[in-house]
Structure 1
Amino acid sequence: MVRIKDSLVSMSGVVTAQVLLFLSIVLLGRERGPEILGQFNGSVALGTLVGTLLALRYELACLSDRSEVSFEALIHVLALGAAIATAVAAVLLAYGRHHLLLVELYAVATFMFNLAAAYMNSLKRYGLIALARIAVNVGLLVCVASPFRGWLKAEPFFAYTIVTTVIGLLALTATLCNGWSKGYRVTFDPKFYSVNRRFAAYILPATVLGSVMTYALAIAVPSWYGAKEAGYFAVAYRLGFSPVSLVGQSIGGVFRRDALGAVRTNTGGGELVQVYRTYARGLIAVSLIYAFLAFVLFEPVVALFLGAKWEGATPFFYFLIPLFSVQILYVPLSQVFLAVRKQKLDFLFQLWSGSVLIATLYATHVLNLSAVVSVAIFSIVGAIVTVWGVTVTARAASSRTSGYGAVLDCLI
């Protein structure tokens, strides 16, 4: 069953959060310039990636439409994440990498927030998830815009980390209290990790490879081309990827739960295909509208909010439009791999696409191409790879009915 209301509630929260983040980026860009914004974007990208990998992707076991199952998984994943985070901190201290501790703290905060959101998703508390997302970026905006922002203005990533940590702790505490109030009493069982090892065996490497698409440029551009180019890229990427993130976090979360419900209640797979088809059609429309509006509005919006000195961000953005448009389709639809337990198929696709993109990025570096040209080549190759990824998600959804021959039926 497709829940349009849930999608709208979830999307409204993500939209509001992204608007607040946009305002914060505008203030940082106007007052601090491309270099600070580039450093901020690179740190956020690295911390988000580490936070996603922190529990070896076992947190995906929390994504169930049964709250008691989700809560049991949450306790086990929280224990694993805490152990790994402690070990990482010890290694950083031992090797004197103290400057990376702040990135790790942001990663842990992101992990806590995502863990709490997974459990709230099982309760259909999409409004609470949206409220928490909004609170994080309200906190950042307050820090950046506050008249007493002298120190926080100098350390925007520190401010964002503190805010995310506070919200993450509150969300996780509320989640634990909710589970205990429902009478869920979880006995720690090491077998949990072996029963759910498919997440670490397939989805962890798939996520690492898939992160090439999402984070490689954000990390590589500051390292290879300097802070100024990184700042231009940060504006283009942050503004352009916001709708992708919006759709992935809102519609993707609701689609995942609908798909899980369809699989559990309909062993034949017909209901899953119908759910997939409905979401796919809607996402195609969203993707086309995004591409048109992005091409028309980006340059005047940047000129209006950031000024003429940021015109260097425009070429980056135009070349990224094809990649972002296709990702709007793939990111939510890729949740079907979890619903039908096709982690191996997901891994094989990510292995292929990640290898292609790594080779592409390395080639642009070896050839000493400019930042804009490198981003353009990466975007074109990434868009082609992602189109194939969409067909793979359709294959996964239709495999429960008539096999690969039903792939096109899922999309039409």
Structure 2
Amino acid sequence: MIKAKDSVVSLIGVVSAQIVLFLCISLIGRSSGPEVLGHFNYTLALGTFAGTLLACRYELACVSDSPQQSFNALVNVISLSAGVILIAVAISFVAGRSDLYIVEAFAFAYFIQQAAGAYLNSIRRYGWIAVCRLAVNLAFLTCLAGRWGVLATRGLDVFVAYTVVNVVVAVLMLVWILLLGKRRGYEFRVSREFFVANSRFAKYILPSTVFGSVLTYALAIVIPHWFGAESAGYFAAAYRLGCFPVSLIGQSLGGVFRRDAVAAIAKDDLPDALSKVFLAYARSLAVLALLYAVGGALLFGPLVKMVFGNRWDGAIGFYYDLIPLFAFQMIYVPLSQVFLAVRQQRTDFLFQLSCGATLMSVLFAARLMNLSAQASIRSFSLAGAMLMICGITLTFKVMSGSVSRVHAST
């Protein structure tokens, strides 16, 4: 059963943070134009992608029904990520790529926030997760709205300001959690046993994430290279504004769903508990996706013109092509947490492998056919939407299979 209070608190936090980020994106776009927004979106995609892979997905072990185990997992993954980022910085130095330092700093800060958020999820501190998410974007908005922010949008890289804000919040989160763990008497111990016991995350979830990231980051990375900065800016506006409801649902309900599913599995009445949790979330997500698709089709055009102005008409066509993908993503992304809850990482990996290979093939086929930016996005979106439908079906089968196995064993 959905825990209304947890879902509402988590949803409010994500909605508030996304609304503030929407204001930040609108400020960048209105004051600096498509080129600057396109570059910001490109570097943000690179940093987020790197941060997601930084600890080989071992941070997923931070979500546990035991706060002590969750804290131990956090200590281990922070240590691993620190080692990886130091190696990355050394490679950048040797290669003479000082421009990558800021991307690496953002990746590390982003990773710390995700791992710390997973620990706070385990101890049901949804309010703190919401506050931290909101703090990042509020501080960034302050930078953009202040004197320094105006200068940044007219000459300096706004991604630098966003990185500084993320680093500060990440450090504060980590220090607070470590002090809390010390008060509770938890051990600060890095052990080989942790990585052996949770190796399934590196074996299956890491490659799954790499292939799954094609859906999330591929367009943001290839469009600037293939179609120029202006098209990248229009795409950034369409994607950032259009995807923010998808993101907020995935981050809020997705995290709570996984926590509730883990709790359901820990109960004696697993078949009934897990089925009820899954079906309740699935029905709610289907309704939200339908409302999103209809509302987006009606309101996105006027919203873009109101926020950015008439010069941003190019973003409207991009968004309409992305609606099918966004709508089915809104359902699949939270429900995909069931793969982790029932430990079906191999199934998730095979599906993400298929998704990544299919979408990359679509992109390169579009490139070989010399399609326009809009035609390439449309092809990518339709292929992604069909894959999301397959993924939704697969989550139901995985859940049903787990319940059937429990019934058979009893």
Same fold (TM over 0.5): yes
Amino acid at match of 1:78: I
How far 1:150 sits from its partner (Å)?
A: 4.6
Q: 1:94 aligns to what? A: 94
Contact 1:38 1:230 in 2 (8 A): yes
Q: 1:113 aligns to what? A: 113
Q: 1:192 aligns to what? A: 194
* CA distance in structure 2 between the aligned counterparts of 1:360 and 1:227, rounded to whole angstroms: 22
Q: 1:394 aligns to what? A: 396
Amino acid at match of 2:301: E
Contact 2:301 2:316 in 1 (8 A): yes
Contact 1:248 1:332 in 2 (8 A): yes
* CA distance in structure 2 between the aligned counterparts of 1:217 and 1:209, rounded to whole angstroms: 14
How far 1:326 sits from its partner (Å)?
A: 0.2
Matched, 1:34 2:34: yes
Contact 2:63 2:119 in 1 (8 A): yes
* Counterparts of residues 211-226 of structure 1 (less than 5 Å): 211-226=213-228
* CA distance in structure 1 between the aligned counterparts of 2:336 and 2:285, rounded to whole angstroms: 12
Contact 1:115 1:172 in 2 (8 A): no
Query: What do you get for the CA RMSD once the two structures are aligned?
Result: 1.4
Q: 1:52 aligns to what? A: 52
* CA distance in structure 1 between the aligned counterparts of 2:91 and 2:259, rounded to whole angstroms: 38
* Counterparts of residues 212-251 of structure 1 (less than 5 Å): 212-251=214-253
Alignment partner of 1:399: what SS?
Answer: helix
* CA distance in structure 2 between the aligned counterparts of 1:329 and 1:53, rounded to whole angstroms: 24
Contact 2:76 2:189 in 1 (8 A): no
The CA deviation string for residues 195-238 of structure 1, in whole angstroms up to 9 with x for no partner, is 11100000000000000000100111111110000000000000
* CA distance in structure 2 between the aligned counterparts of 1:21 and 1:268, rounded to whole angstroms: 39
Contact 1:268 1:400 in 2 (8 A): no
* CA distance in structure 2 between the aligned counterparts of 1:337 and 1:179, rounded to whole angstroms: 29
Matched, 1:104 2:114: no
Matched, 1:343 2:340: no
Q: How much identity, in percent, do the aligned residues show?
A: 49
The CA deviation string for residues 287-341 of structure 1, in whole angstroms up to 9 with x for no partner, is 0000011000000011111100000101100000000000000110011111100
How far 1:277 sits from its partner (Å)?
A: 0.2
How far 1:396 sits from its partner (Å)?
A: 1.5
* CA distance in structure 1 between the aligned counterparts of 2:358 and 2:268, rounded to whole angstroms: 37
* CA distance in structure 2 between the aligned counterparts of 1:362 and 1:123, rounded to whole angstroms: 44
* CA distance in structure 1 between the aligned counterparts of 2:275 and 2:387, rounded to whole angstroms: 23
Q: 1:182 aligns to what? A: 184
Q: 2:65 aligns to what? A: 65
Contact 1:252 1:335 in 2 (8 A): yes
Structure 1 stretches lacking a partner, 5+ long? 404-412
**4+ residue runs over 6 A deviation:** none
Structure 2 stretches lacking a partner, 5+ long? 406-410
* Counterparts of residues 128-143 of structure 1 (less than 5 Å): 128-143=128-143
Amino acid at match of 1:64: S
Alignment partner of 1:341: what SS?
Answer: coil
* CA distance in structure 1 between the aligned counterparts of 2:190 and 2:85, rounded to whole angstroms: 19
- Higher mean C-alpha deviation, range 179-188 or range 43-52: 179-188
* CA distance in structure 2 between the aligned counterparts of 1:213 and 1:126, rounded to whole angstroms: 28
* CA distance in structure 1 between the aligned counterparts of 2:148 and 2:91, rounded to whole angstroms: 36
Match of 2:295 among 293, 297, 312: 293
* Counterparts of residues 163-178 of structure 1 (less than 5 Å): 163-178=165-180
* CA distance in structure 2 between the aligned counterparts of 1:390 and 1:198, rounded to whole angstroms: 22
Match of 1:266 among 262, 268, 271: 268
Aligned positions, number: 405
Matched, 1:84 2:84: yes
* CA distance in structure 2 between the aligned counterparts of 1:223 and 1:177, rounded to whole angstroms: 45
How far 1:346 sits from its partner (Å)?
A: 0.3
* CA distance in structure 2 between the aligned counterparts of 1:129 and 1:340, rounded to whole angstroms: 24
* CA distance in structure 1 between the aligned counterparts of 2:26 and 2:150, rounded to whole angstroms: 17
